[in-house]
Chains A and B, each alone.
Chain A
Amino acid sequence: MPDPEKEFAEEWRDAAYNCFSSGHKFCREVCPVMQVTRNESWSPTAFHANVVAMEKGELEVADVAADYVNCTGCGACELRCPNSLFTGDFYRFRTRTVDLVKAVRGLAVEQGLHQPGWQRWNLLTDERRHEPVLGATPVEQARVRDWADGLDLPIGGESILFVDCEAAFHRTSVPRSVARILNLAGYPFGLMNEQWCCGGPAAEMGYEEQARRFARHNLDDWRAAGVRRVLVLDPHDYITFTEDYPKYFGDAYDIEIVLVVELLAELIREGRLTPHVPVERAVTYHDPCRLNKRKGVWREPREILRAIPGLTFHDVDRVTQWSYCSGGGGGLPVEKPELTAKISEQRVGKAAELGVDTLVSACPWSERPLSEAGAARSIDVVDLHELLAESLGVAP
């Protein structure tokens, strides 16, 4: 076994045994990939067991690199792990399957083992500074602020709004809604001077060197402009800025990261925003995995929905939603779009059972696959920020 693999197995061995020894597999039925494939090789348990096998010399990363594609990074498995669920983090040894999957993907790339779709995606991202979310249509640095045309937003300032690649180039109605709402509330903010992709997707697919380069650029850009606070509307960015960047930059990283959904709920609570235009829709809310399962953010989106007049809100509790996912995360739609589509179909099917006409999400990356699945069932997929803007009379 090559040395980096040996080092990797040594680093992760005890954590892997903690899962292997438990043997419960309670993670399995909440795992979105497992639910649609029923293939035990792609279960969180297998991802840990493989490390035990690597340590025993039974496997090499080349044997399993492709298996680790099959994870959306939703974090459901960690929540459902009896090792974590029952004792919490009493032993400071919480199950960290998402980190493990990222680490294996990183190790694979380090060994020159590439997944073709991911390799192409990250090459293009590296060239264009943004993810190729428009397929054949190139994304360009010059157009990263096009979504804000006509909004007269300043560049720089103490607080800036960071817009992820999907929202900046594809679902532009989301950042436009956010900008209009913040303006309405009189909350001052600007745009970034030279925004690059946050680097999170590269890190998730194993391209950590690239991810660090992008992070370095963004942090330097913030520093140069005197930015103190970054407003984030995308849950994936929120993870990157609150988990990856601190890991890259340590104590020197002193930027305050504000999740827009939390900010908007606060502004409503303080009376600085009052939704008043009735929105006549029967909705249910899709808890974005990275908010609900990984960050424990589930109250504020519901608070916002309950503040919008006219809505009939069929809520499904956050724990039930541990097993829901759009399939849009962790690079899965890049490498295995057919699995993303199945996961989204299943999620929309759950909404259909409630008899709603609208599925509200708060994650731009979930909205494309969910919209595609929703179209087949005549269910609209609407972003929470868009819905709030409508009710505030500032539709994008």
Chain B
Amino acid sequence: MSVLIGDPVLDELRQILGPGHVLTGKADRLNRARVPAPFPVHRWAERMPDLVVLPASTEEVAEVLKLANRLRIPVVPRDGGTGLTDGAVPLCGGIVVDVKRINAIREIDLGNRTCTVGTGINALKLNEVLARHDLIYPDDPASYPCSLVGGRIGTSGWSLIGSRYGHSRDLVLSFDHVLPTGKVIHVGDGIGRKITKSSSGYQLKHLFMGHQGTLGIATEATLKLFPRPEAEFSPFWAFEDYDSAYRAVGALARAGVATFAGAVLFDEWKVAYLRRDDEAYIPQPSSVKALVCAALYGYEDEVRAGGRRLMRIARSHGARYLGDEISEGDWAARHDRYATPLHGRTRSGQVVPMSWHCEDASINYTGLPAVRLAWHEIADRLRRESDVFDDWGMFAYTNGATGADYLTEIDIGIWEQRLDDTAWEAWVRAKRDLAAVSLAHGGSISACHGSCREGEVDLVPEELGGGYDVMLDIKRTIDPNNIMNPGKYLLDQAYAEKS
């Protein structure tokens, strides 16, 4: 434990939270030192916090932050801990503020169609309750069964059906936010808790979303709700080559169908990866080299009409429809299918448990083919450098309804059991190179996870340009003592400049 956190501090924290909610055990800390992002397991101990607190209210979070600010103790917020960047991983020890206990549903406002919840709640659990009112909260990340609302705010998350319903930034209307000083503010559009559009003042909501815990902790959020869709249509199509599939996905996304919730393009590496469990799943002939799927949600009559239009468009691009059973099953498995550790293979074909990294750039449609080739080259280099890496192929998902840009994802398997310093260095170098390709094609390093992972983070100042200097100024102003998640996003330099 650091010298800062002696017994008097522990006593004070126990006063604030009750003795059962201040955890100092080694396992308590180890289990809050990592997230699913690639992780140097052999250096686990370096990521350990000094202690963990489990607050139950905004007030308790505020008291903890006041204490930490007074004593200059680093604080790392943690919610689901399911992020694919390492926002919730402590880099400088300190206190992990784990907000999972703040998970009550405070209000379901049927008149204004909103709900207000503690940020420790999971969207799937929330939707179980909303179903009674025939409503949904349609924030649908791959981690839908386990991610929590606070993490969605802290990362400004991305939703698989965001082209229809918007992403976390659109779905979260406002929230209580505890600043690094312990002061509690409410941010949204204007002052309103349930206002969806205001031009009053600066638009602070966006500032306090996606900061990866560097600007404070959201504790209670008001969310936008939608009618539970009556119908879902999720056709999957097979293609004999990537180029046809690429043209098809572009045409589908640009069609302007109102119920369109998203389209996904799977390249041949991804198809090959999925074939690794074909015997357990549904085999496809070897002529299938690429796949496209689309999803539509709404009332049955509108989904049926939109679906017919998309089917026509796909067929005109050489698509072969895979049928209702595969389409429905595959879409239903979208959260579970992302990565199966046992799909990991060494070059000789040995099955090994691999963790997955998913690069998540935002790339314009016209940049997708070039980025794809450059990224696979980097993955190939990694694989040649070490047998702990494996290329699991690429997806491209529409970011929005007009088809301008795509969450562009290459999945790389990493055999964490065998990670050592050399392999980790190779990995960090590859991360930097992947990010550089995104920027070279006018894209953004991250569409959904955040860009503070080792390697890529070095390019964030380049991506944001003058905007990064503004970030430094804001960080210094809001967090004068650099207690919130220090070390992230290279923001420590804000304080170096000051001195």
Contact = CB atoms under 8 A, between A and B. Distances in A.
Interface of A: 13-14, 17-18, 20-26, 28-29, 38-41, 43, 45-46, 49-50, 52-53, 56, 58-59, 63-64, 67, 80, 82-83, 85-88, 90-91, 93, 320, 353
Contacts of A56: 41-42, 44
B34 to A, nearest CB: 8
Contacts of A45: 31
Contact of B31 (A18, A41, A88): A41
SS of A interface (majority): helix
A91 B351 contact: yes
B80 interface: yes
B27 A67 contact: yes
Given A28-B146, A38-B103, A53-B44, A22 B30 contact: no
A90 B120 contact: no
A44 to B, nearest CB: 11
Interface residues of B, number: 53
SS of B interface (majority): loop
A86 B25 contact: no
B342 A83 contact: yes
A58 B44 contact: yes
Contacts of A85: 336
A82 B27 contact: no
B394 interface: no
22 contacts: A17-B416, A18-B342, A21-B353, A24-B145, A24-B336, A25-B81, A25-B143, A29-B124, A29-B145, A39-B100, A40-B31, A50-B27, A50-B30, A56-B41, A56-B44, A58-B30, A82-B336, A82-B340, A83-B340, A86-B333, A86-B340, A91-B342
Given A29-B146, A39-B54, A87-B342, A24 B36 contact: yes
A21 B100 contact: no
Contacts of B103: 38
Nearest to A35: B125
Nearest to B146: A25
Given A22-B340, A41-B25, A80 B145 contact: yes
Which of A17, A45, A52, A56 counts the most chain B CB atoms within 10 A?
A: A17
A38 B150 CA distance: 14
Contacts of B101: 38
Contacts of A49: 30-31, 34
Contacts of B374: none
B458 interface: no
Interface string B239-262: 000000000000000000000000
Interface string B412-434: 00001100000000000000000
Contact of B146 (A17, A18, A26, A50): A26
B354 interface: yes
Interface string B334-375: 011111111010000001011110000000000000000000
Nearest to A57: B45
A63 B336 CA distance: 32
A82 B26 CA distance: 28
B110 interface: no
B27 A53 contact: yes
B336 A59 contact: no
Interface string B13-51: 000000000010111101110111000011011000000
Given A38-B54, A86-B277, 9 more contacts: A17-B341, A29-B146, A38-B100, A80-B145, A83-B342, A86-B333, A86-B337, A86-B340, A91-B351
Given A18-B342, A29-B124, A90-B279, A59 B355 contact: no
The 5 closest A-B pairs by CB, nearest first: A23-B36, A90-B280, A21-B355, A38-B100, A21-B341
